[in-house]
Each structure stands twice: as structure tokens, then as C-alpha cells.
Structure 1
């Protein structure tokens, strides 16, 4: 009986210690089904942001630099360190609840992590927009190779701070006045300038207006909001179990056209033409898309990025598929190797789950299947497989075609002579 009382007391104490669930919980550990494909796409290389990767040995060299950014931020805002600590401590319960994982750091440790990283992120965004704010010996902005690694760390789902605490610690008026800036910019404006320049997304002003009127969870959520189309172009529907890949579609007479839209997701199929917006294959693209997918797979009802990875993975399976899209200027291969580009595309969809009954590109996939199932296209493929492949050289093909033409000409001539007779 005594043992039972102890267990009851222990469980009750654990239950009483549970924090209330916060409605904006949005920072998650990447699901293992996604992580096992590419660990490097989710792990920070240079800097930890927030508590999930804080303290890892290879990230410690950046901690001193982050403290220098905090020092400069305090000078810039002329606000007491005590005031910032109090502001963050008042929000501690809400901040902890934004993370799906239980944060083991003590209250002081947690508040310190958030404080340093808030100042660091704001300083990075400010210095990127106003380069004159960088100090002469700034190790990040004066060393491009280091900054390239760092900014991609800001795209990682596990490496985030809740956006509301950044906004709470940022005062646009104070910033403009203290730093003699020519513009009064919000944190939304600074984030937009940063990511549209680094990710090189165009025509996002409409998205920016929507973002201003909505609740941003963190910087990955911000980037996804920039990427999302204002008006979805594809018709949702059930996706067929299989789809011909690019080279098979080509053999069935499908033409490929570079899409004119800046909307990456605006894939269209009409009158035998598959139109795909330009896709630039790079390490940065892999990290960006994978972390947007990770966000969708953990915290979103809509899965347009996941659905995009799903259709691209269906269409592109081999190096031959990549070569065909490169030749049509649809793919831009920044990796050099065709096989490496094919591997990146194949890996985008590994581990993700999509609803096969409600896919953004379900109707397009269905139309592609129907196109390839028509008798003429089936005959064309049969001819290619069983006849053209059996001919050894182009000269042989040319000779056979010439014989066929001569035969047809002879028949026509005989018919014409018969009519005259």
C-alpha cells in the first residue's frame, strides 16, 4: 500500500508540473522518417538559435560572437539589460510552450539563451539591410564564406525562436533614431529583405501584405509564407498510384515548357504541354525545401510544399529525366553532376506523407496518365520500343524511311495511272 501511495504522489507531481499547451506551439524536432534521409539538412553548421541545439560542441565558437552582438544591440537601443531580461522572463512559460520538446534548461539558462539569440538575430537582419552598421572586425559580414553557412542555419526548423519575442524586443522608432537610419522598418520588413535576397524569390509583395496581417510563428514559417502562391493554380484531387516520368512523357509526345510564373508551384498541363517554373538545384534549395516540408509535416493543415516535392519526385527519377529538363531550361543544375541533381530531387520526397486523395497536383497527374493512355501515344511508345530500338544506326532508319516514302509514292503513281486509264 505504501508503494502505491508513493506512485500516486509521484504521478500527481508529474501531472501538476505539466505546462499548459500554448496555441502557437510550432517549433518541433524533425520527424525521424525525414531526418534519416539527410541529417545535414536539419542540423546547424555554425550557430545555434534557441534551446534545441544550444551547447553542442561544434557550435560553441559562435557563442562569443553572439555575445558581442548582444553588447552592440544594448548600445544601439540604449535599453537596460535588466529590462530585456524582465521582458523575456515574463514570457518564459509561453516561450517554452512554443517548443514541442520539453526544454530541460533552468529558468536562468533558458532566459539567457533567448536573450542572446534574440539580439543576435535582430543584429543580423539589421546589418544585412544596413551594411554600414557592421563593425570593422565583424567576423560574419566581413567573411562571406562564414555568412553563407550561417544564414542557411536560420532556415532550419529546429533552430528557431518564436517570432513574437523578436518583435517584443524590437522597437522600429528607437532603431531608426539611434542608428541614424534612413528608413523606419519593421522586423517583418527586415526579414522580408533578408530572405528574398538570399533565397532570390521575386514578386513577393502580395505575400508580404498577407504576412503583415497574420501571425508569424518563426522565420521558417515566414519563408514558407513568402513561397506560397497567393492563388493556388493547381486543381486538387486524388493522385493516381503511378505516373510516367519525364523521359516516358517525352516519348509519349508530351512537350516541356519553362513556366513564366515566379510561383515555383505553378505547374500546368494543357494540350500536351507540361509547363514547369524554373527550379534551381543547389544545396540551399535542398535545405530550404526540406525544412519547409518538415514544418508542414509537423504543424500545417495545408501541404503545398510537400505536394510539390511529391510531384517532382514522381516526374524525375533518373539522370536522363534531369538531362531532359536541363535541356528545356527548366532545371538549373548548380551541383555540376547530373546524378547529384537527380539524387537531391529524389531525396526531397523521401519520408514525407501526403494525402493521396487530396493532392495539389492530383488532377495534373491524372491528366498526364490519360494523355499517355490514349491509343496514338501507346502506339508511338510501342513503335519506339519494339521497332526503332532494333535498328542499329540512324542511316538504317533513314534508309527505311526512304523506302517507305518510295513505296507510298509508287502506290500513288499506280493509282493515278489507273485513274487515267
Structure 2
């Protein structure tokens, strides 16, 4: 029997009090910790190396050196504007609840410490973007652009766990009205700075992308900016979907007679097209930064987006580059621009990217392309035609030899028939 001395009402009240302490699940939430199942695959790809932004990695010992430099950037930024530090802090404190609601977990910092952190991190981002975009603003003794690698800092700003809400950046930059005489006649706004900063994504993947005000007004942070850069310009309905995620590799497609063509007119990675035996794929540049960029974009997409375009793209490329030979084939056709050391790192990269990542086969973006490729390769005529071309029509001389042999064979048959007819008619 249970302990009759326990007051059930008090127990129930205790549980109700725990309900009150629950962290609310809100639509504003857009900044998350990466799931452990993904972090185990490559922890470094999700963890800032030089600078922490926002509360999730704030206060760690390894970032203390750059915390002092953030204060220098804050001082420089305040000198560019006539707005007082008090006014900036006032705005941040007024937005405290909204800021906290952007994170998927409680922030342990109190109001004062949170406001100081947001101000320092915001000023750091502003100064970094200004110096990134306008080289004349860089100082010869600035460790960000000298001692510390600018690439490392840049990558840190594209990590999902290392973000500030974009509405804070927009509001504070608009409030600052900084002196932009250094830019000449060029307009300097948060959108133009972000546009320049997003060229890192464009150059990393060999794509082009431009913002407009409508898109920019809705982005939630830099990782969302990256998602916008990479996702297709329009959605595609795939009523049939896929039953299984399987397609021929690049080498198998080549043996089946598929012709690979770079879709040079495309400015988006997603515009892969297959028609009449021709597979058109936009050029993809693979660099060291490709893995962390793709991993963070995919992690955000899995949590926040109704469509997993980037995940689907990575799956599509992974199907094509099963082996280093597949990579080398696509490199020869200039579809992949490989800045890594050979084909094996590229094929391994895509194999590892799709691990522990769920895929919605019913809404797979490239369903029609995969279905068409599978159907094409099942037709034995395509295989036979490709083999004939590969084995017997490699060079003009081989073609001439085969034609001559055929003519000789025809003449021999004609001669034989004539001989038979001559005997019969005699």
C-alpha cells in the first residue's frame, strides 16, 4: 500500500508549478543547437573556432582573446555613429523577450549580461562586415584581418549555433546612421553588407545570388541567408515521389550513354535537368569550406524549413559520386570543380553528409530526374548503343575501318549471290 501520509494535492500543485517553468515553444524560434547525432559525425563543422556570437557558446575560455577585440570593435563602431551606447542598450533591453524567444533553449544570462553581449556581438558583426566589404577601413594591426584567419572568422559567422537574430542587426544598424563617407556614392545598408558577405557562399559553390528587399526582410539569421542563396528559385511538384532513393552513378550513366553537360546558364545549384539522354548539371565548386557550410544549412533546413531542398541536392549528388571514378568523370566534364586532393575526399564528403539525415522520399525535389534516369538506364538499347560507340567508334579511323569492313562484307555477299545465280541459270 502507498504512504497515506503523502498529500496528493501538494504533489499535484508541485507538478503544476513545473508546468509554469517550461520553456515556451514559439514560432519565433530559429536558432538551435545541432543534434548530437550530427555533431558526432563532425563536431568541428558546427563549433566556432575563433569567435562566439550569441549565447550558445558565450563565455567559453577559448574565446576570451577575441572578447577583448570585440570591445575594440564596439568602441570603433560607436565612433562611427552619434547614437549613444545607452540608446543601443535601451533598444536591446526593450527587445529582450523577442531575442530570447529566437533561441530553442533558455538563455542563462541575466538581462544586463544579455544586453552587453548582444551589443558587443552586434558591433563586432557590423565592423567585420564593413571591413570585409571596404578594405580601406582595415587597420594594419587588426588581428582579424592579419593574425587570425579571415576565413576562420567568416566560417564562424555561418554556423547555426553562432547566430544573432537578424531583426536585431537590422534595427541597430538602421538606428546607427553611421558616417559612410568611406564608401563614396555607394549605398551602405545592412542588406548591401549582407549581399557582399554572401559572395563567400557564391564563390564557395560557384553560384550567383542577389537579394531583394522582400527576401531580406524575412531572413532570420546568416544561416537562413545561406539557405536562401542555395535553395531553388521556385518549387516543383512531385506527385509520384520516390519509393526508394536509388539512381545510377555517374560512371553507370556514362556506360548507358548519358551525356553530361554543364548547365552554364543556371545561377542555382538545384537546376538539374535530364532530357533525351542529356544530364545538365550546374557547376559545383568543392572547397574545404563546403562541408561546414552544407552541414549547417542542412541542420537548419531540417529543423525550420517545410522543404529540404539542400538535403535533397546533397543526396542527389551523393548518388552520382559513389566512387572517386565518378568524381573524376564529372571533373572531366567540368561539372565538379574540385579544390580538394583528388576524387576520394569528394565522394567521402557526400557520403558523410547524408549520414544520420532523414529524407522525405514523398517530397524529394529531384524525384522526376531520378525516375527518368532509372528508366533510361533500364532500356537495353541505350546500353548497347553506348557500348557500340565506346568500343567501336572511338576514333575516325575506327569508323572508317568499320564502314570499309561493312562495304567489303556487302560486296562479298553480292558476289556470292551472283555466283549462285550464275550456276542456277546455266
Q: Per the alignment, in what secondary structure is the counterpart of residue 280 of structure 1?
A: strand
1:151 aligns with 2:154: yes
TM-score (norm 2): 0.86
* Matching residue within 38, 43, 46 for 1:39: 43
Name 2:88's counterpart in structure 1.
Answer: 84
User: Is the 8 Å Cα contact of residues 240 and 362 (structure 1) preserved in structure 2?
Assistant: no
Gapped runs of 5+ residues in structure 2?
none
Q: Per the alignment, in what secondary structure is the counterpart of residue 242 of structure 2?
A: coil
Q: Please report how far the alpha carbon of residue 286 of structure 1 lies from its aligned counterpart in structure 2 after TM superposition.
A: 1.5
Change (3 A) 1:78 1:178: farther
Equivalent residues in 2 for 1:158-237 (5 A)? Answer: 158-171=161-174, 174-176=177-179, 182-197=185-200, 199-200=202-203, 202-205=207-210, 207-212=211-216, 214-232=217-235, 237=240
Name 1:265's counterpart in structure 2.
Answer: 270
Name 2:53's counterpart in structure 1.
Answer: 49
User: Is the 8 Å Cα contact of residues 237 and 360 (structure 1) preserved in structure 2?
Assistant: no
Structure number with greater Rg is 2
1:359 aligns with 2:378: no
Distance 1:316 1:292 in 2: 21
Q: Per the alignment, in what secondary structure is the counterpart of residue 368 of structure 2?
A: helix
User: Is the 8 Å Cα contact of residues 257 and 386 (structure 2) preserved in structure 1?
Assistant: no
User: Is the 8 Å Cα contact of residues 46 and 161 (structure 2) preserved in structure 1?
Assistant: yes
Name 1:114's counterpart in structure 2.
Answer: 118
Q: Per the alignment, in what secondary structure is the counterpart of residue 365 of structure 1?
A: helix
User: Is the 8 Å Cα contact of residues 223 and 296 (structure 2) preserved in structure 1?
Assistant: yes
Q: Please report how far the alpha carbon of residue 138 of structure 1 lies from its aligned counterpart in structure 2 after TM superposition.
A: 1.3
Q: Please report how far the alpha carbon of residue 352 of structure 1 lies from its aligned counterpart in structure 2 after TM superposition.
A: 1.6
Distance 2:96 2:9 in 1: 33
1:238 aligns with 2:241: yes
Name 1:391's counterpart in structure 2.
Answer: none
Q: Please report how far the alpha carbon of residue 221 of structure 1 lies from its aligned counterpart in structure 2 after TM superposition.
A: 0.4
Q: Per the alignment, in what secondary structure is the counterpart of residue 280 of structure 2?
A: strand
Change (3 A) 1:115 1:376: same
Distance 2:287 2:208 in 1: 21
RMSD between superposed Cα atoms in Å: 3.0
Distance 1:311 1:110 in 2: 42
372-381 or 153-162: which moved more? 372-381
Q: Please report how far the alpha carbon of residue 198 of structure 1 lies from its aligned counterpart in structure 2 after TM superposition.
A: 5.5
Equivalent residues in 2 for 1:257-406 (5 A)? Answer: 257-260=261-264, 261-379=266-384
Q: Per the alignment, in what secondary structure is the counterpart of residue 71 of structure 1?
A: helix
User: Is the 8 Å Cα contact of residues 240 and 365 (structure 1) preserved in structure 2?
Assistant: no
1:100 aligns with 2:104: yes
Distance 2:95 2:6 in 1: 40
Gapped runs of 5+ residues in structure 1?
389-393
1:201-226 Cα deviation digits (max 9, x unpaired): 65423x434414x4111111012112
Q: Please report how far the alpha carbon of residue 2 of structure 1 lies from its aligned counterpart in structure 2 after TM superposition.
A: 5.2
TM-score (norm 1): 0.87
Change (3 A) 1:17 1:234: closer
User: Is the 8 Å Cα contact of residues 286 and 336 (structure 2) preserved in structure 1?
Assistant: yes
User: Is the 8 Å Cα contact of residues 51 and 103 (structure 1) preserved in structure 2?
Assistant: yes
Distance 2:184 2:51 in 1: 28
Change (3 A) 1:240 1:416: farther
Q: Per the alignment, in what secondary structure is the counterpart of residue 73 of structure 1?
A: helix
What is the aligned length? 406
Change (3 A) 1:403 1:273: closer
